[in-house]
Chains A and B, each alone.
Chain A
Amino acid sequence: MNTLVRKVIPFASLVIIVLGLSALRPDTFLTADNFINVLSRSSVNGIIAVGMTAIIISGGIDLSVGSALALAGMVGAWTMLWLAGGDPAGTLWSVPSDIPAGPGRPPEPTALAMAFGTLAGVAAGTLCGFVNGALISKLRLPPFIVTLGTMSALRGIAYVMNDGEPYNVATYKYLGEGAFLGARVCVLIFAAVAVLAALALRYVRLGRYTYAIGSNREAAFHAGINVDRCLVWIYTLTGVAIGIAAMIQTSRTVSAQPTAGLSLELDVIAAVVIGGASLSGGRGTILGTIIGTLLISFLRNGCTLLGISTNVQLIVIGAIIVAAVSVDQLARSKTQ
């Protein structure tokens, strides 16, 4: 009974927020455009939150997701421009894309260059995840410390790549704005990633072992699970998700910014926790995380529509996080 309440609360809050905003701002909130907008904006955070869910279920944490997102985007965009025949050391790449064609304009990557660039970005994200996973499992360091380090280091690399300047890829629009069968590509990717992850957590051994490791790492080890290998996989797969999210982000802003994803990790962890995952591991679901992500997105969107400043939004979201976790704790202590 109480477990049911616990599971329903995040979803109920989401419904209440959506209904409330619909009532308050029927003309601006309750429009197809606004919903598409909110969903596409959630896709970047959401895809990363899916990976973070697995990490948190395994009893870990990844603070470096924002930095990895920036770096993967930079690598992806750099590859596109390089393949388009530009000079990698040229400063021209960072000029705004709206200046007229001519000598001052960056090269425009071809479709093939963009495809390879996308793969390169995803590969870079994957590598970041692998490095985290390898350090955490092989050196037996706490994930918090390792990813605190990589958070800083990866961000640094992203800045160094073009001296703190972005790479502009004016024509790279498909992932961010494109549509496929009438739906935004980025939203479809988000849905696909979420479904795959949910199925994997439920029906694949790695998913099962993720729960077991998070619940009791020693017990998992004594049950013959290769804990190190599982952890490397979990962080690497999250890296894949970060890479995908990075390319969507790059496409949405038609540029790779070294400052992309600053404090993204907090939003993502908040979404996972609101969705009912336990930071001590062993508990969490993809569905919960998606609800958590949408909750934060709609809240942001609603605040904006209601004319609440972004500064005040921070306060509201902070309060929601604490409230969500305390309600969860309360329900848990009642059940036991």
Chain B
Amino acid sequence: MTPKSSNSLRPSEPTTGVPPVEDEHGQDVRGTPVALEMRGISKRFGPVQALSEVTFHVRKGTIHTLCGENGAGKSTLMKILAGVYRPDSGSIHIHGQERTFQVPADALAAGVSMIYQELDLAQDLTVAENVFLGAEPAGFLPYTIGQRVMESETARLAGQYGFDVNPRARVGDLPMGDCQIVEVLKALRRNASLIVLDEPTSSLSENEAQRLFTVVRSLRERGMAIVYISHRLEEVVGLADDISVLRDGRVAHSASASSLDIPAIVRHMVGRELTEFFPPRKAAAGDVCVQVENLSSARGLRDISFSVRKGEIVGMAGLVGAGRTEVARALFGVDKMTSGRLLLDGEEVRIASPADAIRQRVAFLTEDRTRTGLCLELPCAWNITLPNLETLGMQRVIWPRRESAVAAQMGERISIKWSGPGAPATSLSGGNQQKLLIARWLLAQSRFLIFDEPTRGIDVGAKREVYGLMNTLAEEGRAILFISSELPELFGVTDRILVMRRGRLVGDLRTSETSPDKVMHLAAVETN
């Protein structure tokens, strides 16, 4: 298989798989008209060539997935499409017509709608108000807004595509999945002909994700062209018609989805074969390290008991809202335990705050690293040492040089890519930011580590490194609780899986003796 190069647009040239190729009438060789074509796009930021000669096209009524590790150039390419950046060279054609986007409004006017990971919604407005934001219909009296027209239009639009949302609901009260649908409605209201979804499922539960897939498929059936960006390769394969893989700012591969499987995509993404995606486990479980008895909390946890042994990685599965993060918060002293006990190495401990937890050598890698994890504008070294100044013997005086040295050493140990420990945490990629937080808890010599969605939003290579680090920690005899919404990684990494549903623990299963179906069933299906 030869990587598709930028000049392979001529239909005469042999191509791999079923690459997007069009003839002189703007028709795909397979007969589907092309909705979007980006030809030979290059973009340089200072010394970094973010994109070189990227050619990419999306057929009408299809889903084209864009894969690639963080930093491969996906976001840059999409920002060029959205009119946020201007390409150094290359052209954009919408329905066969060349367009130049000076500002994002130009892209919107051309029918290109972006739905970003962080949604652009006004939390305090209703669904209808959000859908019509900036284009409110006139009301009966002059200078008023036609609230009813807006609501009925929104309802009509939703009904047309079979979405179930209440136009009068306040967006802030909606679950994440519904917010995505509001974004889709916004795009539909603008008569978008091309929708770009950037990591839409990263904060959705399995159910919500399934619902979103239905939405995306129904958009496709109505002739919408869709660019879908995701790290979750399982969903990519299930959803896409075409797949393009970006690597180092170039198209590494582009083919129809039917000709690719996950290992092949991963291979194109990383440029090498990942012999085993999940590193082998070597740790043997020792004595019980963590024992949770009858834990209840004000946030809806009821009577939860489980234990984690030294050297054991215990997974925690459940739908969003099942109370997984709440268990972590209660154990780490963020939320109050209303009843129950926590024993560490056989001794009962009282944890009323994160400070207490850290003193007991409990670590909590939170799911939202920008909100509850990092101080982004502060140096990496400071972020690593933040909870550790006392144990580093710097409770009275901080020695910046020693601090930097310690941080540099941690960085080397888990191979953080940075320009140095003094660089601000913002300058790091998502995966490396996550490693910064792992370095923090490694340095804390924690005996019990809670990882809450540690691989969310980071690329394949970084994910594998995170799994490897968890293994190493287990081998060192630490107890690990691994909360995840991705069943494959739970099955790839853990010894046991705990299943949560509506604030209760409904399953405690040996990983080797269960199956994803069984876990999903426990998590999703109400039984008594």
Contact = CB atoms under 8 A, between A and B. Distances in A.
A129 interface: no
B374 A216 contact: yes
A225 B354 CA distance: 8
B375 A282 contact: yes
Contacts of A205: 389-390, 394-396, 398
A221 B332 CA distance: 11
Given A203-B398, A205-B398, A211-B382, A225 B377 contact: no
B373 interface: yes
A234 to B, nearest CB: 16
Contact of A215 (B353, B371, B376, B387): B376
A212 B364 contact: no
A212 B378 CA distance: 8
Given A212-B378, A282-B375, A224 B354 contact: yes
Interface string B242-260: 0000000000000000000
A226 B352 CA distance: 12
A25 interface: no
Contacts of B397: 203-204
- Mostly, the A contact residues are helix
A200 to B, nearest CB: 10
Interface string B323-354: 00000000010100000000000000000011
B400 interface: yes
A211 B375 contact: yes
Interface string B345-372: 0000000011101110000101000011
A219 interface: yes
A216 B433 CA distance: 15
A222 B334 contact: yes
A202 interface: yes
Interface string A204-218: 110010011001101
A282 B386 contact: no
A215 B398 contact: no
Nearest to B425: A215
B376 A223 contact: no
A265 B355 CA distance: 35
B372 A219 contact: yes
Interface string B168-209: 000000000000000000000000000000000000000000
B501 interface: no
A284 B375 CA distance: 15
A225 B371 contact: no
A155 interface: no
Given A203-B397, A215-B375, A282-B378, A226 B355 contact: yes
Contacts of A212: 375, 378, 382, 386
A209 to B, nearest CB: 8
B268 interface: no
A220 interface: yes
B394 to A, nearest CB: 7
A283 interface: yes
Q: How large is the interface on B (under 10, 10 to 19, 20 to 34, 35 or more residues)?
A: 20 to 34
Contacts of B395: 205
A215 to B, nearest CB: 4
A220 B371 contact: no
Contacts of A221: 334, 354, 372
B498 to A, nearest CB: 22
B389 to A, nearest CB: 5
A202 B373 CA distance: 22
B398 A202 contact: yes
A13 B397 CA distance: 34
A222 B376 contact: no
A225 B355 contact: yes
A216 B382 CA distance: 13
B86 interface: no
Interface string B389-409: 110001111111000000000
A322 to B, nearest CB: 23
Contacts of B357: 224
Given A216-B376, A223-B387, A202 B354 contact: no
Contacts of B371: 216, 218-219
A220 B353 contact: no
Contacts of B478: none
Contacts of B389: 205, 208
A205 B399 CA distance: 11
A218 B398 contact: no
Contacts of B377: 215, 282-283
Nearest to A215: B375
A226 B371 CA distance: 17
A202 B399 CA distance: 9
A213 to B, nearest CB: 9
Contact of B372 (A208, A215, A222, A283): A222
B440 interface: yes
Contacts of A215: 375-378
Interface in A165-222: 202-205, 208, 211-212, 215-216, 218-222
A204 B394 CA distance: 8
Nearest to A207: B398
Nearest to B427: A336
B387 A224 contact: yes
Contacts of B355: 224-226
Given A203-B398, A205-B394, A223-B440, A216 B375 contact: yes
Interface in B291-346: 332, 334
Interface in A249-293: 282-283
Given A202-B398, A218-B372, A226 B382 contact: no
A219 B374 contact: yes
A222 B366 contact: yes
Nearest to B394: A205
Interface in B425-477: 426, 440
B512 to A, nearest CB: 34
A221 B356 CA distance: 11
Contacts of B354: 221-224
Nearest to A229: B355
Of listed B353, B375, B395, residue having the most chain A CB within 10 A = B375
User: Which 9 residue pairs of A and B lie closest in terms of their CB atoms, listed nearest first?
Assistant: A215-B375, A224-B358, A224-B355, A223-B387, A223-B386, A224-B387, A224-B354, A216-B375, A218-B372
14 contacts: A203-B398, A205-B390, A205-B395, A215-B375, A218-B372, A219-B374, A220-B375, A220-B386, A221-B334, A222-B372, A223-B387, A223-B440, A224-B359, A283-B377
Interface of A: 202-205, 208, 211-212, 215-216, 218-226, 282-283, 336
Given A205-B395, A222-B332, A222-B373, 6 more contacts: A202-B400, A208-B398, A219-B374, A220-B375, A221-B354, A222-B354
